Structure 1
Amino acid sequence: MAAPDTHKIPTTIITGFLGSGKTTLIRHLLEHAQGRRLALIINEFGDVGVDGEILRSCGVASCPEDNIIELANGCICCTVADDFVPAIEALLSRGEKPDHIIIETSGLALPKPLVKAFDWPTIRSRLTVDGVVAVVDGAAVLAGTFADDPDLVAAQRAADPSLDHDNPLEEVFEDQLLCADMVVLNKSDLLSADEKIQARDQIAAILPPAVKIVVTSEGRIDPELLLGLEAAAEDAIETRKSHHDDEPEHDHDEFESFVLDVGPLSDPDQFILRLSSIAEQHDVLRMKGFFEVAGKPMRLLVQGVGRRFRQNFDRPWHKDELRRGRLVVIGEAGLDRAAIAAAVG
């Protein structure tokens, strides 16, 4: 393990597929920072900053609102020069520098290009990648969402080179794991003891032997375990393999997202059931947003992964705030936007 440079600010990259629980984990870190002054850079795939709003509503002293920077102009792994570097420079130009920076990538991001950005001279002298942490939805893995057998695929390709077994979703998932210094197997409360073992085994089959897997639920993990890995990942980037190593640049043409305006809800439970049905019928990967519930002073936060949805009132509406419901829909390219919009109502 590389020795940390005490003149550099340690930075932890939190990656993970859509809905794995990255934001929940980061919120837990903020609430248990143990005296650290933290800064956040949040990247979302889509136009509505749901994750940034959730974290700004924490109101914890460890991470004042000025230390939360949101990048919503596309996946951070594709906009390093245009967005990431200026964000870092703006953050470090402020009077009191953070003790630790946490970067939450979008669920579709490849972490390796972001780690490479830390080798840029303007960043390398001031920051180091303390660690890359991949958050995994254990229930999704067990359900077979990313259950392709790499060895079997390799054997099939060797037997018939004309076959195309590429799966963009699986490649994103595996690239996130292959770049990680630690994997958080989240949502373990949805799994039995045997299922946890099965999920761990599936993930371990992809990982290098030195990468540890930590099992948790609701993102509850001791910050002392997550922060301070001292990986200096930018110094060993070539050892972190990726499906995209031979590509000149990476894009996200395989995915798309759009935002729908939603009026006040009279029955949130029925709305959630409708979204679950839409996700199944149209193969939607992720839905999330804030909504007004008729007669309620609180804002409703809804987050869904496939057919699984969660809802809670996260904070009161501000007096001067427009009470507008907005739903972010994310899926593979080709989503029937008109049909989804009609079904949402």
Structure 2
Amino acid sequence: MPAKIPATVVTGFLGAGKTTLIRHLLENAGGKRIALIINEFGDLGVDGGILKGCGIEGCAEDDVMELSNGCICCTVAEDFVPTIQKLLDRAEPPDHIVIETSGLALPQPLVRAFNWPEISTRVTVDGVVAMVDGKAVSDGQFAHDVDAVDAQRRMDDNLDHETPLSELFADQVACADMIVVNKSDLLTEAEAELLTGHLRGQARDGVQVVRTSMGALPANVLLGQGSGAETDMEKRHELHHHHHDHDDDDPGDHDHDHDHDHDAFESFVVTRGEITDPDDFAAQVARVIRTHDILRLKGFAAVRGKPMRLTLQAVGPRIDSYFDQPLAANEPRETRLVVIGQAGLDRGAIETALSA
């Protein structure tokens, strides 16, 4: 059976920077063909128009699909599933699908839709990413313009307008595999640390909290989480079930023409000799990840007495390891691991811990 196509769900309040994040991803996709599903409230698709007109190689106009007929979590059967099917049925399906929800859509119903028989064997949720306006949340507002959020909620008479934004925010955080604190350049280090701790306290165990500015998150951090979120929905609780709200990401957040670098992130390779026991080494890797807040770790290991190469993939606390192929006769019997994290990793300590 062909491998399932991965899909990333991006959620977050008005002005958090969802479309900016996606545009940055497209600009740095490294040749990966990405299809976008943009859910916007109303007939005018602001975010879809921004992305369709971006002129980015690998982002063809027909790879951007808009759902403007209502909240994506309310129109799963009518709009979302058929749209996914159209993408999957193409002669050349995308390598990855990114779904930008309207600002106040609940991610849980959308993630559950990946269990529909029509698509469940062909696509999987790679990860749910909750975008957070770091400055607004640090100030206790959840969105940079609460009045604008409330105004858009009032535009739909079918909505329950009494649900506090704090509960909607908590639902997004509860479903997330990664929380991206955007606009972190507007926070002091103390404010950022306090906010990170607060978000981790609200999230499930092992959820990564990543800081960035202007949505500049490397593709190898955002994609490839492999969460299979649709298979563990019981852990992604909802505080409520019927308050489906709407907004668009702030178009004013996308007018900046900045060149982004990845100085906020770093990666390096750790090389060591053979390992003795795969399970013991996986536990060792898990300890190092927890201690040093590593985002990703991947690579290959030579196991003493074994002819096969061991592949390791770690995303936060989740570690997968398996023997994939024999080591070539001229291939050195060594272990090579790529470590990815935010800038400031203690490389020396990590190398020492992984080589022990």
TM-score of Structure 1 vs Structure 2, range by shorter chain? 0.5 to 0.7
Name which of 1, 4, 14 aligns with 2:10. 14
Aligned length in residues: 240
Which of 168, 171, 176 matches 1:175? 171
Which residue of 1 is the match for residue 96 of structure 2?
100
1:49 equivalent among 39, 45, 49: 45
Aligned-partner Cα distance in 2 for 1:146–1:222: 25
Give the conservation status (yes or no) of the 8 Å contact 1:78–1:251.
no
Distance (Å, rounded) in 2 between the aligned partners of 1:287 and 1:96: 30
Give the CA deviation at 1:221. Answer: 0.7
Alignment of 1:75-154 (within 5 A): 75-146=71-142
TM-score, reference length from structure 1:
0.65
Counterpart in 1 of 2:235? 239
Tell me the SS of whatever aligns to 1:102.
strand
Separation of aligned partners in 2, 1:288 and 1:209: 31
Structure 1 residue 241: Cα displacement: 1.1
Instruction: Find the aligned partners of 1:226 and 1:109 in 2 and give their Cα distance.
Output: 20
Per-residue deviation, residues 50-84 of structure 1 (Å, max 9, x unmatched): 11111112212222111100001111011100110
Which residue is equivalent to 2:22?
A: 26
Tell whether 2:215 aligns with 1:219. Answer: yes
Alpha-carbon distance in structure 1 between the residues aligned to 2:56 and 2:249: 27
Give the share of equivalent positions with the same residue, in percent.
Answer: 55
**RMSD across aligned positions (CA):** 2.2
- Please list the CA deviations of residues 242-300 of structure 1 after superposition, one character each: whole Å capped at 9, or x if unmatched: 112xx4xx243xx577xxxxxxxxxxxxxxxxxxxxxxxxxxxx7856xxxxxxxxxxx
**What's the CA shift for 1:137?**
0.4
Q: Rate the CA distance shift 1:169–1:229 in 2: closer, same or farther, 3 A.
A: same
Q: Distance in 1 between matches of 2:236 and 2:189?
A: 31
Is 1:45–1:108's contact at 8 Å kept on the other side of the alignment? no
Extract structure 1 runs of 4+ deviating beyond 6 A: none
Q: Give the SS at the match of 1:101.
A: strand
Describe the shift of the 1:256–1:109 C-alpha distance in structure 2 as closer, same or farther (beyond 3 A): closer
| Counterparts in 2 of 1:55 and 1:256: CA distance versus 1, 3 Å | closer
Residues 199-221 of structure 1: CA distance to partner in whole angstroms, max 9, x if unpaired? 21221221122101000000001
Compared CA separation, residues 6 and 177, structure 1 to 2 (3 A): farther
In the other structure, the counterpart of 2:35 is: 39
State the AA in 2 paired with 1:101: I
CA contact 1:45–1:107 (8 Å) conserved in 2: no
Q: Using the alignment, how far apart are the partners of 1:95 and 1:171 within structure 2?
A: 42
Aligned to 1:65: 61
Contact 1:39 1:101 in 2 (8 A): yes
CA deviation map 1:221-243 (0-9, x unaligned): 11101100010111111111111
- Residue matched to 2:205: 209
Partner residue in 2 for 1:317: none
- 2:352 matched to which residue of 1? none
